[in-house]
Amino acid sequence: MKIEPFEGGRVRVTLKQSEMTALGLSYEELLLGGEGLQKALGALLWQLQEKTGLHGVGQRVLIEATLGESGGCELVLSGLHEPSRYRIKEGQLVPRLFWFAGLPQLVQGCKAVFTHMSHRIYRSSLYYRGGYILSVTPIDGPRAGAAQLLGEFGGYLGRGELLEELVCEHAKSIRCGDAIDAVSRYL
């Protein structure tokens, strides 16, 4: 196996026929895909990570395959990168989700936040699925006082855009964008 890394997170891998067989790769698998191809490429990516330090974890990796002259093949992998040495900081605008069993707890929590820190809320949305789910995006990031205040009235479900999207997909949307303001004013 000949490995040639070059700029832009790309690597050219030249395999002989015997190396393709050892990996479980065949021309049919390269053309049609399947479980065998996934296992073979997983093993190949593991070897590349050990030899070059580059990996494709969490990214899409484009693989271009061409037939080799002596029955092997040449693969060019794009989208590989070096592992990050630094922790990525959480963005400021991260939604936090809370669950309220009943309307009285929801109204109390919303009124408390509206009274004390409505100016610190970027966005809030309300959903219903067996209870009320309030998504709050505070502008003060991890030190979110609004999140601590809401925790006194409801249960904390978690944080993040993926969780919010999951709730949005599976729960009935009641109010998007300004739920805390609307609940505080009208209830």
Nearest to 44 by CA among 66, 75, 79, 6: 75
Which pTM does this prediction carry?
0.50
The DSSP bridge partners found for residue 121 are 138
pLDDT in tens, the chain (187 residues): 888 887 777 888 888 888 888 888 887 877 777 777 878 887 887 787 777 777 665 567 788 888 887 788 888 888 766 655 544 455 567 888 898 988 999 999 889 888 887 777 888 899 998 889 999 888 776 555 777 778 788 888 888 888 888 888 888 988 888 888 898 888 7
User: In 10 A of CB 103, how many CB atoms?
Assistant: 12
Q: Is the distance from CB of 49 to CB of 42 less than 8 angstroms? A: no
Q: Is the distance from CB of 157 to CB of 166 less than 8 angstroms? A: no
Instruction: Please calculate the CA angle 53-14-4 and round it to the nearest 5 degrees.
Output: 40
Q: What is the pLDDT of residue 87?
A: 47
Strand boundaries in 27-163, DSSP class E? 62-67, 73-78, 96-100, 121-128, 132-138, 155-159
Q: What is the pLDDT of residue 141?
A: 61
Q: What is the pLDDT of residue 88?
A: 44
Q: Is the distance from CB of 136 to CB of 148 less than 8 angstroms? A: no
Six token digits for residue 75 = 């693969």
